[in-house]
Amino acid sequence: MPRFFPKFTLILVAVALAGGCTARRGAPVVDRTAETKSAPSKPGVAAKPAPKPGDARPEFYTVRKGDTLYSIALDHGLDYRELAQLNGITDPGVIRVDQQLRLRLAGSAATTAPVKTAPGVQGRPIGEAPSAVAGDNVKTQPKAVRAPYSDQTYAQMSGAKPEPAKPDEGEDSVNWGWPARGKIVSTYNDSANLKGIGIAGKAGQPVLASAPGRVIFSGTGIRGFGKLIVIKHNNTYLSVYGHNNELLVKEGQNVTKGQKIAEMGSTDTDQVKLHFEIRRFGKPVDPAKYLPPT
């Protein structure tokens, strides 16, 4: 028995040493969930920016009591002519409650080829309210066709020269400027239904185009805005100028940034002021986030 004691002792010592080495080399515990959440970006590779919200406009809209074709178009960032032609409407002053209006084409891109000539879309002088009865004073220009609307189609029908496409045009290409000088008497508040800003001033004071674009509405017919101008800047943004006393531009006219488009007034409000909005896909956004510092 004593002869085997040294060997047994050596075995015990070897096991103890091996156990000690194993304890010292224990693998660290890693929280893979936390690692995934806070994994650092690779050197030289920029983090991917968060995507901006896109166009969430529905394909159809159901007409409600109090709606007009003009207000529906404004609320969805459209030219009312575009909306009328897309739905085969020959008199913009006549729509009915529960009527389904198409706001955009489903699927493929629009084509500009006219299919069938229809009676003309009703025209009206600046400041004249639209007719409520179909067929009253319907004019023959510009002609309406049952074809998807585009700026090129409208230009062809109205005789205007089409605007050249701008390959880099996008929502970030709008260079905004202040539409008038004066004291800010109301600010944007979505919860309080204040969808723009109010700029107080004097009667007849110049109202300027906040950015270059095309006038898609000039007149009355949208309740609460008085004499109104709406400018389309690109496929994303519109600007709105309300309560004017005099309107100096016509529908379809191209304007430049800083161009005088109206004179400040108090139509449909209790004081002389400009109501100004910026709309993204028809939805009002806070102008203070877009306009330069005063």
Residues 6+ apart with CB under 8 A from 276: 179, 180, 196, 197, 198, 199, 210, 239, 240, 241, 242, 287
Quote the pLDDT of residue 224: 92
Beta-bridge mates of residue 242:
275
Domains of the chain in sequence order: 57-162 (3.10.350.10), 175-289 (2.70.70.10)
Confidence at 294, pLDDT banded by 50, 70, 90 = confident
Quote the pLDDT of residue 135: 38
Q: Highest mean pLDDT: which of 45-59, 64-78, 204-218?
A: 204-218
- Comparing 285 with 171, the larger pLDDT belongs to 285
d(CA 131, CA 267): 20
The reply to whether omega before 206 is within 30° of 0 (cis) is no
Write phi, then psi, for 39 (nearest 5 degrees): -65, 130
Task: Answer for the pair 260, 248: CB distance below 8 angstroms, yes or no.
Answer: yes
Task: Answer for the pair 210, 178: CB distance below 8 angstroms, yes or no.
Answer: yes
The arithmetic mean of pLDDT across residues 119-141, rounded, is 39
Q: Kindly tell me if the per-residue pLDDT of 43 is higher than 60.
A: no
Strand duo 60-62 + 100-102: pairing = antiparallel
- C-alpha dist (Å) from residue 120 to 102, 146, 253: 19, 11, 19
Quote the pLDDT of residue 124: 43
Q: Kindly tell me if the per-residue pLDDT of 226 is higher than 70.
A: yes
What is the percent of the chain where pLDDT is above 70?
Answer: 59
The arithmetic mean of pLDDT across residues 199-225, rounded, is 96
